[in-house]
Structure 1
């Protein structure tokens, strides 16, 4: 079992940037909560004569996942 934790960066929380051309804006979110990941991994090693191998599978669920969103408006400009 594994548990991960990531606090939002200062930019993710409070960044405010507006490009005068309107092509790029960055807007933070002061309401972000820490990101938490909980995961499990299971695996096996095997050997049969001349052949050896390893198989593993993992699954992680995130709570309060923090992501950057990029959108393109009707004029074709990209906004973040």
Structure 2
């Protein structure tokens, strides 16, 4: 596998993961109450704690995307072909 293939795979992975993150954020913004009701069927959780869990999970996911996908892609792009 050459560097260009790895670079393309990392870029595609970054774009897909950012798409998932954006979808999650939009779903949380526009359908928060539905998601909250769904989760409270299974877990006894307050609304504030539910918000904090999702906010922290989205932040962790974003950091993971940046560290595991975007940064290696950027490094491979900087070093050239």
Q: Which has the higher contact order (CA 8 A, sep 6+)?
A: 2
Q: Which has the higher helix share?
A: 2
Query: Which structure dedicates a bigger proportion of its chain to strand?
Result: 1
TM (normalized to structure 2)?
0.23
User: What TM-score do you get using the length of structure 1 for normalisation?
Assistant: 0.23
